[in-house]
Each structure stands twice: as C-alpha cells, then as structure tokens.
Structure 1
Amino acid sequence: MDHAAVLALFDREVREGARPDGPGARVERAHGVVRRVGAGDDWSAVLWSDLDGTTADEAIAAQVRYFAGLGQEFEWKLYGHDLPADLGERLEAAGFTAEPAETLMVADLEQVALDSEPPEGVRLLRVTDAAGVDLMAEVHARVFGRDTARMRRDLSGRLAAAPDTLVAVVALAGDRPVGAARLETVPGTRFAGLWGGGTVDGWRGRGLYRALVAHRARAAAALGHRYLQVDAMDTSRPVLERLGFRPLTTTTPYLSPPIA
C-alpha cells in the first residue's frame, strides 16, 4: 500500500469531500473547513480544514460562534498531518478539550483477510429492525459503559432513511448478544468505515472481534469499496494489523467549550 497516496485519497474523498451521512445531517464548507452539522443533538464536527498560521485562530473562533448560534457543542476531528502543526495547541487555547488519540488504520480489501468466522456456538445476525437495535445497544452499554439513547436513535434513523449505507450486525450466543459492530458506507467513495466494534467480557480473545471485522469486510467488498478505515484504539490495533490493516496517521477528537 502506498501510504501517502491512500492518505491523500482519504482526505479528498472522506474528509474534504464529505457528504451527508444521516437523517437530517448536512455538510457545509466555510472559513477553510468542512463541517458536519447534525440535526438536533446529533453529532456535529469539523471534519477537514485547510488552514495555516495566519488563518487558524479566526477559523476556530468562527466555528465556535457558528455552533454556539445553533446551541450545539461539537468536535474538531484533528488528524496528525493537519496544518498548522500546532493546530491542537490552538484548539486548546480556544477552550477545546482533547480526548485520547486513536490511530487511523486502513486496509486494502484486495489484501485483507476475509475468511474469519465466529467461534463455535455464535451466529451473526444482520440488524434491520428495532429488536436488533436493542440487542446492539445492550452490547454497547456493557462494553463501553455509555448511555445508548443517541446510538439507538441514530441507528434507527439510518436504517429507516438510508439502509443501503449501513451494515449493522450483532453476535448472538444462543439468544444472548455478546458482540456488535457496524459498517458505514458513502456510495461513490472507495472507503467504508468500521465503527462500534465491541465484545463483552467472557468472549474476548476467542476470535469474535476478528470475525466481526471479516464479516464487514466482505460486505464492503460486495458493495464495491476498495478500502476499509477504522479509528483504532490501542487494544484493537494489534488484531487489525494481523488482519492486514496499516496505520496512516493519528486522529484526536477535540471537544468544543461548553455553551454558555
């Protein structure tokens, strides 16, 4: 894989060329940035920027003003190669808070392993309705310890409005959900994203995470995508590397200041 070429393609197609990816979401370009504006309290973020030392501070201030006017907090999704080099420091000076960094990893679907199956006694169920969403939410609550109200709403909305852009799957041991994950796609791009992969205690280290990745990789290939991308935590990076993923850069969420 030509890392520089794939990273440039990712920037162009996924970030600078971002498209609306959920019910009510819109993508806007202003003040040197591309931003996703979610409906209501849906996730909003700056996805891409073309800034330098003379324009960055005003661009940051402009985004803070814009989202404050909407009554929304938002995320500035900063990548390790974004300019200026001190953009993270400028965001912190403006009141943003950095979340833990992750690694942007990409796999070429012509090279990634696609043959992993779930462990014995586990089946993978495609999520298509409210009952499936409930099963996914149960896994997310157990694995990540987060409130799942937004996830339920977003997933249900996307299944209703754009089911062809989402492959959501839950792993069942008998009737018990023990893992879940989703694939999000943007038609017309060469990338598909892996999100929300998680395995409950007692099932880790048994090949289930690997099987969930392979299942979604097969789905992405069938939909005509060339690359899989994932924002990987340190715990999942070794598994992904064994499957053929390669690190391209880091990505750090910077959370906007609270709205006064």
Structure 2
Amino acid sequence: MTRMDHTTVLAAYDRQIRRNLDTVGPDGPGVLIERAGGVVRRVGAAHDWNGVLWSGLDETTADEAIAAQVRHFTARGLEFEWKAYTHDLPADLPGRLLAAGFAPEPAETLMVAAVDELPLDAPPPEGVRLLPVTDAEGVRLMVDVHEQAFGTDGSALGRQILDQLTTAPESVAAVVALAGDTPVSSARLEFQPGTDFAGLWGGGTVAQWRGRGVYRSLIAYRARLAQARGVRYLQVDASDQSRPILGRLGFTELAKTTPYVYRP
C-alpha cells in the first residue's frame, strides 16, 4: 500500500473541486458555477447548497470580495455559505467573515482516501439491508433518517436529492439502511465527472443503531460504486463523530474547513 502524498492530493483537490469546478460544469439541475471577483461560487435554488467554494484573495482584496458576495446572494434572497479552509488566504479570512456578519458553524475535517486502498467488503449487520434510493419514497426514508440523526429539518435536502435523481441521476448515488422496514441510516455519493474525486455526504445513523457497523457498511457500499466508475479518491467533510471511524478505515486528514453562513 503506497502512502498518500498529502500535499499533492490537497493541491489536486483545491484545483479540481474548488478552483476549477466551473470547467467541469454544474453539479446539479439549475445550478451555476460562477467565477467572479476572485471567488468561485455555486448558485442554485433556495433548497440547494449555495456558497463560495474557493477564493484567491489577499489583504487588499478580501473585504471587497466578501461584500460583493453578500450583495450577490442577498439580492437573490439566498442564504449562503463560505467554506473557509485552514490553508486559505489571507490568514485572517475567518475574522473578516465574522466582521461582515457571517456566523460560523462547527468545523469539519477534510478527509480523503484512495478508493483502491479502502476495505470494500463490509456488509451491514444482521437484520439490516441496504436499499438504493431511486425515487421519492426512498428520498422520504432518507429525510426521516436525517431528521432523527441530526435533529434538523431535512425537507430542503430531500428536494435537492430528488432533483438530482430526477434530472441528473448519474451525478448521485443514494442509499438507505433498513432494519426490517425501519430506516436507520442513510448516505449519498456525489460524482464530479472529469475529476479524480467523488464526495461522501450525509452519512447519518439514528442513535440506537450507532456503533453496530451500519455506517461502515455504507462507506464500503459507496466505495464500491466509486471504484466501478473509475473514481480515484473519496472525499468527506467529517464531523468529530465520524472522523475516528473514517481514520480507522484509511481516510487521511488533509485540512480543517469551517462553514461560515450568511443569512439575509
């Protein structure tokens, strides 16, 4: 097993997924990837993820670029997120976002693994089956899990996933774990054609089923799908809860990222 070169992989991630995603094309229906004023941003409907993916700023340009993005999104009535990474410049970017009215959410860890180095044979525990999500009923089950696992409203997420499944099914693979007929965990895999990466998103398990191997089985399930599509790396923005599990599976920490949210 070869050791991952952190610097090389992080540079590839920044280049392919953050800085040059506009050359790949939109990653969802009705979504625009735009380059403007030193930033790359994703703009969609209110239920989509809207925000700044990358910025190439310095001390002399940061404040005006931040103000310009606030004007752009608020003119459309959209809440948006500025994903700030520990290696982004200027070094005081987080403080400038706070001063502009952004609110930080819990920091996450950018973790990456080479697909060919992941354990792909991790079946769900006894009594649990994995169901591919392909329609509105499957999305309803995912939303149910999301709301139980994270304690937040999942309606916007449900609309986003259903949009993808309906108009761009090749861009996403979603799965729900069922204990009998009860949804207990769910997750999705988002593809970025033309890049080396696919993203693991939304992995959540209801409290009473945690620690039994369900989450691990969803990682393996999605890794097999990624391998079949020729994906080189899997990427995840890991919470403190999932980071130790991912580390044991072979994911490597590359950076910290903090979502700074602006609500009009």
TM-score normalised per structure 1: 0.97
Which digits, 9 at most, give the CA deviation of each residue in 1:214-247, with x for residues without a partner? 1101111111100000000111111101110000
Q: Is 1:32 the equivalent of 2:32?
A: no
C-alpha contact 1:41 1:72 (8 A) present in aligned 2: no
Query: Deviations 1:64-84 (Å, cap 9, x if unpaired)?
Result: 111122121211011110001
Residues 47 and 77 in structure 1, CA contact (< 8 A), matched pair in contact too: yes
Q: How far has the Cα of 1:41 moved from its partner?
A: 4.3
Other-structure match for 1:8: 11
CA contact (8 A) 1:193 1:230 kept: yes
Partners of 1:135 and 1:191 lie apart in 2 by: 27
1:86-144 C-alpha deviation (Å, 9 max, x unpaired): 10011111111111100000001121111111001111000001111111111111111
Q: Which residue of 2 aligns with 1:199?
A: 205
- Counterpart position of 2:63: 57
Q: Structure 1: give runs of 5+ residues left out of the alignment.
A: none
SS in structure 1 at match of 2:189: strand
For 2:246 and 2:153, locate their aligned partners in 1 and report how far apart those are by CA, in whole Å: 27
Q: Could you tell me how far apart the structure 2 residues matched to 1:221 and 1:90 are?
A: 40
Closer, same or farther in 2 for the Cα pair 1:151/1:41, shift >3 Å? Answer: closer
Task: Please name the residue that 1:235 is paired with.
Answer: 241
Q: Which amino acid aligns with 2:16?
A: E
Amino acid at match of 1:227: Y
Structure 1 stretch 83-92 or stretch 36-45: which is displaced more? 36-45
Q: Count the aligned residue pairs.
A: 258
How does 1:152-163 map onto structure 2 within 5 Å? 152-163=158-169
Mapping of residues 157-236 of structure 1, within 5 Å: 157-236=163-242
Q: What residue number does 2:91 align with?
A: 85
CA distance in 2, matches of 1:21, 1:78: 20
- Partner SS, residue 110 of structure 1: helix
Aligned twin of 2:152: 146
Q: Is the 8 A contact 1:80 1:249 kept in 2?
A: yes
Q: Classify the secondary structure of the residue corresponding to 1:106.
A: strand
Aligned to 1:70, which of 62, 72, 76? Answer: 76
In the other structure, the counterpart of 1:251 is 257
Contact 2:113 2:235 in 1 (8 A): yes
Task: Report Cα offsets for 1:176-213 as digits up to 9, x if no partner.
Answer: 11110100011111100000101112211111111101
Contact 1:125 1:169 in 2 (8 A): yes
Runs of 4+ in structure 1 off by over 6 angstroms are none
Where does residue 136 of structure 1 map in the other structure?
142
* Cα deviation digits, residues 145-183 of structure 1 (max 9, x gap): 111211111111100111111110000111111110100
Is the counterpart of residue 17 in structure 1 residue 23 in structure 2?
A: no
Distance in 2, matches of 1:194 and 1:40, equals 22
Q: Distance in 1 between matches of 2:45 and 2:165?
A: 16
Cα distance in 1 for residues equivalent to 2:174 and 2:51 = 23
| Consecutive unaligned residues in structure 2, runs of 5 or more | none
Does structure 1 retain, via aligned residues, the 8 Å contact 2:47–2:157? Answer: no
The answer to whether the Cα contact below 8 Å between 1:178 and 1:199 also exists between their aligned partners in 2 is yes
Q: Distance in 2 between matches of 1:130 and 1:63?
A: 34
Which shows bigger deviation, 18-27 or 214-223? 18-27
Contact preservation (8 Å) 1:56, 1:84: yes
Q: Which residue of 2 aligns with 1:46?
A: 52
